[in-house]
Chains A and B, each alone.
Chain A
């Protein structure tokens, strides 16, 4: 197991190096100049002499050869220095520390809700196949899979924020400051983030439960005289979870991607909205840093998923 984890970590490192290369060079392939974009909003833009612009470029190291820039950036990461944002004029590490807890708060809730309630819904619809619960929930999952997050967000804001006035339409408060307000604020964005996972997990769980229901060992379990609850929870659940866990790994990356949109729609100052504004501002270092952190999260989640297979299914052993 340990050898397996070490091997996977080495593989992850290779992937991360590729990620740094791609994000670094793709950002620089984009037309435009971050320094120009930055100074364009300052009042003295018109009067700014080209020397000042050059001085600014030099300040951010943009005047050096591109390979040197890359080497400097990677070397910085190893020292824990992600560089300085051109737009915010702030250390990227500090910037991310401000923003990431917000995204993690929302994303974590969304992952948990998607996993627990999705799996639960899938289980119940499978056990009560063809009954009213199945007939109501299963069609809803099609909607959950297909609806664009931003559209859902807007619809929710319109219904619960504007028409009914039950929930605040935007903003974010730390749960440590005002737990009640914070909870009310995150309900809609978390739901938007979770909806795909909810639907996907429910569908996968339903079909894998139905698959397991037909297995010989489930007939054996019934033949032992066990009650339905024991048959489902003890004999079916673990067997059905394997494909669902795989999907949960994918779900985390979808939630990270979704946070970019959802934080925009609900005006949440998380890392997703920082990501979007940094792309528009061509704030290279910020985009690079966020991409890298996302990649690390996704790689870790996938490693955890693979390890959890062995826990679910004793036949899987990693050597």
Chain B
């Protein structure tokens, strides 16, 4: 499939009183048409910030300081953040579903008001047509008796229902890409599964690409075709889902997989957490940020700066100097 969005060397930083926080430090990724990719990392690794940067929704003290976001042949970062070109992309071509369904809907506007305003704006629908379409969308995402519930306010909906409304909203203008920023973190596990299935069905139906941003490898395993692993503002490993789960090569990815249980493993394996904490993004050392927590480190790691992405095979890349191959046959990765 053709490439739809290409992010090159994106850098976003926050100029705080304590210093410059390099939240996103030169990440590059791409997504093809109708592809589902996963962007995985711990809290604070810059995964959400990178997605907000693509939409130019970073507000002060945050600042996009470099890189390109190529979408339909245009660099989105060349547009003014609240200019008309960028606005005609947001919601219409690239839509985003946020993490907190409880707070991401405006409490004083009805669902109808919040759903139809995009249809009226981007698709130039009349009020009446937009309302019809909104009802359609709501029933599509599984809201029972959508017709009578459309004039309700968000507080009359449960968390899962609100996230369905957010999904309907994201789909409403048939965007090319939907970014789901931790879409299921704030809802309970059964609802999580339902929402993920729903999202998968919907992006197939609407022929949309989907970026799933999550800290939960389990979430992306089932849905994503390719996965990017982020650590401290950089992508440390990328590959197909099969590569990442079958032959993880970056010590961080290996660590992540060691701490989630698997159904197909031998009994009695212990879950091993990654020791230590993610680094403070202010005053980062020039060396690899994972170094203090790494159990594979070699001499070169201490001398040279952060390793560039190295091609392994196919679509599999890692950013690591150590030779992790022979040890990945440990039970952790099976």
Contacts and interface: CB of A to CB of B under 8 A. Distances in A.
Contact of A219 (B87, B98, B118, B153): B98
> Could you say which interface size class chain B belongs to?
20 to 34
B91 A225 contact: yes
B108 A239 contact: yes
Nearest to B90: A225
A313 B153 CA distance: 10
B89 interface: yes
Interface stretch (B99-107, B215-223, B239-247, B269-277): B99-107
Nearest to B106: A217
Contacts of A131: none
B77 interface: no
Contact of B98 (A216, A225, A315): A216
Contacts of B155: 314-315
B87 to A, nearest CB: 4
B313 to A, nearest CB: 37
Interface in A201-226: 215-217, 219-226
B55 interface: yes
Majority SS at the chain A contact face: helix
A220 B170 CA distance: 10
Nearest to B81: A222
B121 A314 contact: no
Interface string A219-249: 1111111111010001100110000000000
Given A216-B98, A216-B100, A224 B118 contact: yes
A312 to B, nearest CB: 7
A217 B82 contact: no
B57 A225 contact: no
Contact of B106 (A220, A222, A223, A227): A220
Nearest to B88: A225
A224 B113 CA distance: 13
Interface of A: 215-217, 219-228, 230, 234-235, 238-239, 312-315
Interface of B: 55, 57, 82, 86-92, 95-96, 98, 100, 103-109, 117-118, 121-122, 153, 155, 166, 169
Given A217-B104, A239-B106, 12 more contacts: A216-B103, A217-B107, A220-B166, A223-B57, A223-B91, A223-B96, A224-B121, A225-B87, A235-B106, A312-B108, A315-B153, A315-B155
